[in-house]
Structure 1
Amino acid sequence: MFEQYLRIKEEYPDALLFYRMGDFYELFFDDAEVASRELSITLTSRNPNAEAKVPMCGVPHHAAEGYLAQLLDKGYRVAICDQVEDPKQAKGLVRREVTRVLTPGTVIEDANLPARDSNYLAALYWDEVHGAGGAAWADVSTGHWSGLSSTREPELWQWLVKIGARELLLPQGRRVPTAFADMGAQVTPLPERGAFDLDAARRNLLEAQGVADLDALGLSGKPELTRACGALLFYLRQTQKQDVSHLEDFRPLDLSHHLILDEVTERNLEIFRRLDGRSGSGTLVHVLDRTVTPLGARLLAGRLREPWRDPTGIGRCLDCVEFFFGRDAARAELRRALDEVHDLERLSTRVQLGRATPRDFAALRQSLLALPRVRQPLAAETGETPAELRGLLQSWDDMSDLAAHLDVALVDNPPLASSEGGLFKIGFNPELDDLIQLTEHGEARVRELFEQERTASGIPKLKLGFNKVFGYYFEVSKAHQGAVPESFIRRQTLVNCERYVTPRLKELEDRLLSASEERKALEYKLFLELRETLAQARTRFVFMAGALAGLDYWQGLAEAARLNAWTRPEIHDGLEIEIEGGRHPVVEAAQGAANYVPNDVRLDESRRILLITGPNMAGKSTVLRQTAVITLMAQIGSFVPAARARIGVADRIFSRVGASDNLAQGQSTFMVEMMETARILRQATRRSLVILDEIGRGTSTFDGLALAWAVAEDLARRAGGVRTLFATHYHELTSLEGKLPGLRNLNIAVREWKGEIVFLRRLVPGPADKSYGIEVARLAGVPRPVVERAREILANLEEKSQDARTRGTLLSRQSSLPGLDREVVPGPGEESPLAKALRDLDVDGLTPIQALTLLHQWKQTFKDGR
């Protein structure tokens, strides 16, 4: 046995080998020590009394999924080694083979998968010579796969971060760039010659997809993407040990059809995770997700990652959401029906790959029987039905034939394993019915035969008995020996009686002894036939899974809109964004609608950049983010949290929000801020939406102010102006209104009352007059002595500032005297009044705003010629 084990283990040195022995999966040697530690199970030993003890541990085969999930979550690969011949038929050691290699990106069982999100296996190939690359990703559990090619390597990595790839295939020797080192995917190196070979990739793709040319897959002229796709197929065949026929048609991602949000924007807007990395409450998807099925939840996540850009397509989705929004009763009935539907995509995948269990079949039966109830509330609705929904209902497939077949075949609560028997109902198969009768009612059948023989023989005291030597027998007393029929065969003579058997009794006994095994064998055969019947309907399952996902998506958005009082946005091709009474859905959900102050935002040709000032905690960041979030929600076809919204579709949303560092990669807070800003300035177009929060705060005052100023100028002048919301504490930037085209000042209103500040949360025109930093520090709990001392220092600084401003004013007034007049040149040896003013200026006492004011006054003096 150990020779067999070690021979198989040698082929899978990088995986934990789960070696099937009877009812257990056993692990030996180093694998046992690792599994024992990671799974917290007992480590024992094989041959405990021998000198060389072999470490050993194991888990029951029927409970293996839970243990496998733990190992996969910790990044281990597991090779499943099963018995591939019947132990009863084996001569010597039972033959075993690895039937599958489990990795984080290739699992298809529910216990190992995030139910409401995709589980992607990805591959990336970059050609240094040609400066081009491709990335492909597949959810093996559903069969969906896609990818994109690019001449910008960072763009490929950004998409792998966005989709949250769980496992990443790379050519040997290539590493994840340091900028994306925390992406979280388990990296699996593969040989470039074998896995990423172009000719092999082309050949395998054509075979797997059943097409004659790569044009049909959108891969013509994309060799790098073709290599990445080929690596996926290579790896899946290597780990699954079979063809991956369940993969759907490959469709490259066309970025021109989607609103693009890079991974930074997704993080800053807290779409799937909060800034602290946690999921759930506090994220946009948590507020939006009112879907009932995993199908709808995954569709919603996919839409949030890839929103639409086409106003027509968005409008069709909004029509369907509005249909459900206005029909509370129908929506409630639909939700109840959808609650009975299981994950058709993943169930049908397991059927197709031959890994479905009897419980999976039961889940399919329940789902298919629910399909008419899902359709019923929609068909019963009167009035105009949206075109998208009408088309779905017209092509609806109840799959009633398969539903009826499963309902007739399967028992209500089938066992976990297909080899245990007890799967099928009475009446499904006549031969099986007979075996069921024998196994479950065998004693009754023997009693029935006994009664028949007693009646036929006329022996009144005929008895039925059983022992381990003869099995079943008939016992006749000495007094009735003359009445024994010829068919009775004597087996044993006792003092007072004789024991007999009959051919019919022996035949029944033999059948009873073998019926259990025959029943299991027949049920397994019928199970395989049923699985093949369902596998042939894969296309129908996929279509109905898509239909159910769409219904759940629409009704889920309508449910969220109803619960939160959202409204339908108007989508158009222009550049205007008009939001009246806008709210941030996540903040509103946390605070309650009654405590949230809505705000209006308008971006158009004359208002392309909104410069927003105001103190910390006033709500600048919230206004920025809610504008981006409302735009995003509109472009996935959702109602939005606003009294009215008119959204000109965006091609990209960029965000630079908050302060963060990446010390592991040697990047300071300011470096991260500048990298994000650089990405925005290089990639933003006139149709983009940019939100910037506190540019330049991570460096010195003058450096930061200069950078923020330059960024604002660039965004204002690029392609006629990029739609931007720019929050800042640099009040000096407010002087740009009237100088930069399309820039307007706004501020978050604050009121002082009896020495306290009141945040009104209202966005109003004009610049803020104060920062209120010390007041915010007091509210934050800074000790009173520190706050009071800060106020004293501030007063001194303001007094010095006022003196400097006064001196600047005097200098300005003196500018009409010889020496400050541009046309008057000082005589030889004379000091210019300007030079003298600069020499006497108290630089340390000037604030940035005072310095800029003084500089502006001097500049104006020379400009006016005074």
Structure 2
Amino acid sequence: MAEQAVSPMMQQYFEIKKQHPNEILFYRVGDFYEMFYDDALTASRELELTLTGKNCGKEERAPMCGVPFHSYETYVARLIAKGYKVAICEQMEDPALAKGLVKRDIIRVVTPGTVIESSMLAEDKNNYLCSVYTKRTRGRWKAGICFADISTGEAYATELNAEKIGGAIITELCRYMPSEILICPAMLDFKDVTAYIKQHTNALVELREDACFKDSVMEATMANQFGPDWRDALGYEKDALVPYAVAAMINYLHETQKHGVERIKTVQNYADAQYMRLSPVTRANLELTETMRGREKRGTLLWVLDKTETSMGKRLLRSWIEQPLVDAEAINRRLSAVQALYTANMARADLKEALSHVFDIERLTTRILYGSATPREVKALGDTCAMLPEVRSQAAACGAPLLKDLADQIDPLEDILNKITTALVDDPPATLKDGGAIRAGYNSEVDELRDIMHGGKGYLSNLEAKYREETGIPKLKIGYNHVFG
């Protein structure tokens, strides 16, 4: 007996799923993201969803479950926290206008290290994706390691040339505590590192093939991302291993994010000797950022010191505590700035007040670049731009050389502020779909469409006159109501 034909939609589903066998596929159908077969069984178990079935042309119904598309982030966040990866398959055309089957495609793969949604991220800590490349040179192991926070565009990298390379890699992982780690096949031989990752972190490990670290792949990737003179711009020698780690990460981001990878504009290189080396046991006993018993912030050094006003400040303070400086000059510059702020009571209070109105510029700009920002998030960026001149003047007034240098680096972003205030209404809607985000007078076409949508009398009278002339019906009337428009 011939096998029954699968429905066209399920054929499309199988073709897309074949390209992403290791991810849970969120397949957009109308107002829902639906999951089928093994993905449905997994998602229903992990998310406590009701498991149903769907007729797909076969004798047995396909196991199915789904989540509303407008609240999918909550469900994705729960799956990511449990170590899964999620492929978002979106409808690429309006179903009402589509001829036949609606075109669908993967717009993004969400993994623990590539999250940019504010609802899935802790505002007070970075979310790092790590890439490690190891190679044996002249009888000795070396490593290049890179950490990037996709939500802020920060990237840090260092070369490791220690006698015990495994211990050196663990030390760097302790500094940044990445949520996802890309490794080369040679890393599997470092049992101490793999054991540490498995026992002491919640990081998802992604094994990349040797082909991802080939010379030709690395050279092409680095040139495309940072320009043809990337070695001079980033300061890498010919035999450096960091470029291989960076290139593998960039390619992974292109595979999963599809666009927005240009957010990573540079890589900050640091020497592992630049910061104090603290073993995992030492960090735990010092209770720098979490307590030993409850693994919480309250009662830690970070909890005592954290009086920051912004999310960016919270993340920076955490990184300073996790990576203590060892250079006396750099330490004294920082202490002088603290002393100046402590002494200047009025300036400090004014600076604190100004900073309380500053939103998370780093993550806001990333979401805008990825095209996922809401109108209110764009407005928040504009409100932040309006406060930058005040922050700049108050920081400079405190007198410390470090604060003055930092103040001089602040760009008031007047052009961005002007664009946002000109285009957006004062109280924009929560989502773009709600409408009414664009200010009247900014765009003539939008103004015309809005007038039509609200039954503009001028438009209706012109349309009425046009149809009277075309039809020859002198008493033809065109009306408007809130049901039919």
TM-score interval (norm. to shorter): 0.7 to 0.9
Task: In structure 2, list runs of 5 or more residues that go unmatched.
Answer: 1-8
> Using a 3 Å threshold, how does the CA distance of structure 1 residues 403 and 243 change in structure 2: closer, same or farther?
closer
Task: In structure 1, list runs of 5 or more residues that go unmatched.
Answer: 451-470, 474-485, 492-498, 517-866
SS in 1 for 2:34: strand
**Residues in 2 aligned to 1:81 and 1:124: alpha-carbon distance in whole angstroms:** 30
Which digits, 9 at most, give the CA deviation of each residue in 1:146-187, with x for residues without a partner?
222223222012211331110011124744433453232111
Which digits, 9 at most, give the CA deviation of each residue in 1:503-560, with x for residues without a partner?
xx65x97xx999x8xxxxxxxxxxxxxxxxxxxxxxxxxxxxxxxxxxxxxxxxxxxx
Which amino acid letter does the alignment assign opposite residue 402 of structure 2?
Answer: E
2:84 corresponds in structure 1 to 76
Please say if residues 393 and 407 of structure 2, whose CA atoms lie closer than 8 Å, have aligned partners that are also in contact.
Answer: no
Matches within 5 A, 1:140-539: 140-151=150-161, 152-172=165-185, 174-175=187-188, 176-184=193-201, 185-193=203-211, 195-242=212-259, 244-276=261-293, 278-375=295-392, 377-378=394-395, 381=397, 385-442=399-456, 445=458, 449=461, 500-501=475-476
Which amino acid letter does the alignment assign opposite residue 429 of structure 1?
Answer: N
User: What is the Cα deviation at residue 248 of structure 1?
Assistant: 3.0
Residue 101 (structure 1) aligned to one of 100, 105, 109: 109
> Using a 3 Å threshold, how does the CA distance of structure 1 residues 255 and 161 change in structure 2: closer, same or farther?
closer
**Residues in 2 aligned to 1:488 and 1:250: alpha-carbon distance in whole angstroms:** 65
SS in 2 for 1:347: helix
> Using a 3 Å threshold, how does the CA distance of structure 1 residues 126 and 290 change in structure 2: closer, same or farther?
same
1:139 corresponds in structure 2 to 149
SS in 2 for 1:323: helix
User: What is the Cα deviation at residue 488 of structure 1?
Assistant: 11
Which digits, 9 at most, give the CA deviation of each residue in 1:305-354, with x for residues without a partner?
22222322222222221221123333223222212211111111222233
**Residues in 2 aligned to 1:48 and 1:210: alpha-carbon distance in whole angstroms:** 49
User: What is the Cα deviation at residue 72 of structure 1?
Assistant: 0.4
**Residues in 2 aligned to 1:147 and 1:390: alpha-carbon distance in whole angstroms:** 28
> Using a 3 Å threshold, how does the CA distance of structure 1 residues 371 and 251 change in structure 2: closer, same or farther?
closer
2:94 corresponds in structure 1 to 86
**Residues in 1 aligned to 2:249 and 2:155: alpha-carbon distance in whole angstroms:** 10
Task: Using structure 2 for the length normalisation, give the TM-score.
Answer: 0.87
SS in 1 for 2:17: helix
**Residues in 2 aligned to 1:146 and 1:392: alpha-carbon distance in whole angstroms:** 20
Which amino acid letter does the alignment assign opposite residue 178 of structure 1?
Answer: A
Which digits, 9 at most, give the CA deviation of each residue in 1:620-670, with x for residues without a partner?
xxxxxxxxxxxxxxxxxxxxxxxxxxxxxxxxxxxxxxxxxxxxxxxxxxx
1:639 corresponds in structure 2 to none
**Residues in 2 aligned to 1:93 and 1:48: alpha-carbon distance in whole angstroms:** 14
User: What is the Cα deviation at residue 290 of structure 1?
Assistant: 0.8
Which digits, 9 at most, give the CA deviation of each residue in 1:3-30, with x for residues without a partner?
0001100110100001111221111111
Which amino acid letter does the alignment assign opposite residue 217 of structure 1?
Answer: L
SS in 1 for 2:44: helix
Which amino acid letter does the alignment assign opposite residue 154 of structure 1?
Answer: G
> Using a 3 Å threshold, how does the CA distance of structure 1 residues 179 and 8 change in structure 2: closer, same or farther?
closer
**Residues in 1 aligned to 2:415 and 2:145: alpha-carbon distance in whole angstroms:** 41
Does residue 122 of structure 1 match 2:130?
yes
Please say if residues 133 and 242 of structure 2, whose CA atoms lie closer than 8 Å, have aligned partners that are also in contact.
Answer: yes
1:26 corresponds in structure 2 to 34
**Residues in 1 aligned to 2:194 and 2:413: alpha-carbon distance in whole angstroms:** 48
SS in 1 for 2:290: coil
Which amino acid letter does the alignment assign opposite residue 186 of structure 1?
Answer: L
Number of aligned pairs? Answer: 465
**Residues in 1 aligned to 2:242 and 2:78: alpha-carbon distance in whole angstroms:** 33
Please say if residues 159 and 263 of structure 1, whose CA atoms lie closer than 8 Å, have aligned partners that are also in contact.
Answer: no
> Using a 3 Å threshold, how does the CA distance of structure 1 residues 7 and 449 change in structure 2: closer, same or farther?
closer
SS in 1 for 2:148: strand
2:5 corresponds in structure 1 to none
> Using a 3 Å threshold, how does the CA distance of structure 1 residues 226 and 277 change in structure 2: closer, same or farther?
farther
User: What is the Cα deviation at residue 33 of structure 1?
Assistant: 1.6
**Residues in 2 aligned to 1:208 and 1:223: alpha-carbon distance in whole angstroms:** 17
Which amino acid letter does the alignment assign opposite residue 147 of structure 1?
Answer: A
Which digits, 9 at most, give the CA deviation of each residue in 1:771-829, with x for residues without a partner?
xxxxxxxxxxxxxxxxxxxxxxxxxxxxxxxxxxxxxxxxxxxxxxxxxxxxxxxxxxx
Which amino acid letter does the alignment assign opposite residue 137 of structure 1?
Answer: F
Which digits, 9 at most, give the CA deviation of each residue in 1:210-239, with x for residues without a partner?
241524323314443222222111211111
Matches within 5 A, 1:596-635: none
Matches within 5 A, 1:788-803: none
Structure 1 residue runs of 4+, over 6 Å off?
Answer: 486-490
Q: Percent identity?
A: 36
Please say if residues 129 and 147 of structure 2, whose CA atoms lie closer than 8 Å, have aligned partners that are also in contact.
Answer: yes
> Using a 3 Å threshold, how does the CA distance of structure 1 residues 179 and 87 change in structure 2: closer, same or farther?
closer
**Residues in 2 aligned to 1:119 and 1:11: alpha-carbon distance in whole angstroms:** 27
Please say if residues 489 and 500 of structure 1, whose CA atoms lie closer than 8 Å, have aligned partners that are also in contact.
Answer: no
Please say if residues 19 and 82 of structure 1, whose CA atoms lie closer than 8 Å, have aligned partners that are also in contact.
Answer: yes
User: What is the Cα deviation at residue 78 of structure 1?
Assistant: 0.3
User: What is the Cα deviation at residue 414 of structure 1?
Assistant: 3.0
SS in 2 for 1:500: coil
Please say if residues 149 and 156 of structure 1, whose CA atoms lie closer than 8 Å, have aligned partners that are also in contact.
Answer: no
User: What is the Cα deviation at residue 364 of structure 1?
Assistant: 0.9
SS in 1 for 2:264: coil
User: What is the Cα deviation at residue 422 of structure 1?
Assistant: 2.0
Which amino acid letter does the alignment assign opposite residue 102 of structure 2?
Answer: V
**Residues in 2 aligned to 1:49 and 1:201: alpha-carbon distance in whole angstroms:** 46
Which digits, 9 at most, give the CA deviation of each residue in 1:43-89, with x for residues without a partner?
22213998411121111111111111111001000001111233344
Once structures 1 and 2 are overlaid, which stretch shifts more, 45-54 or 272-281?
Answer: 45-54
**Residues in 2 aligned to 1:403 and 1:191: alpha-carbon distance in whole angstroms:** 45
Please say if residues 134 and 186 of structure 2, whose CA atoms lie closer than 8 Å, have aligned partners that are also in contact.
Answer: no
1:859 corresponds in structure 2 to none
Which digits, 9 at most, give the CA deviation of each residue in 1:252-307, with x for residues without a partner?
22133333323222111110111225121111111111111111111111212222
**Residues in 2 aligned to 1:472 and 1:181: alpha-carbon distance in whole angstroms:** 72
Please say if residues 341 and 367 of structure 1, whose CA atoms lie closer than 8 Å, have aligned partners that are also in contact.
Answer: yes
**Residues in 2 aligned to 1:320 and 1:256: alpha-carbon distance in whole angstroms:** 24
**Residues in 2 aligned to 1:42 and 1:472: alpha-carbon distance in whole angstroms:** 52
Which amino acid letter does the alignment assign opposite residue 500 of structure 1?
Answer: K
1:731 corresponds in structure 2 to none
**Residues in 2 aligned to 1:158 and 1:62: alpha-carbon distance in whole angstroms:** 41
**Residues in 1 aligned to 2:241 and 2:57: alpha-carbon distance in whole angstroms:** 58
**Residues in 1 aligned to 2:186 and 2:328: alpha-carbon distance in whole angstroms:** 45
SS in 1 for 2:107: strand
SS in 2 for 1:182: helix
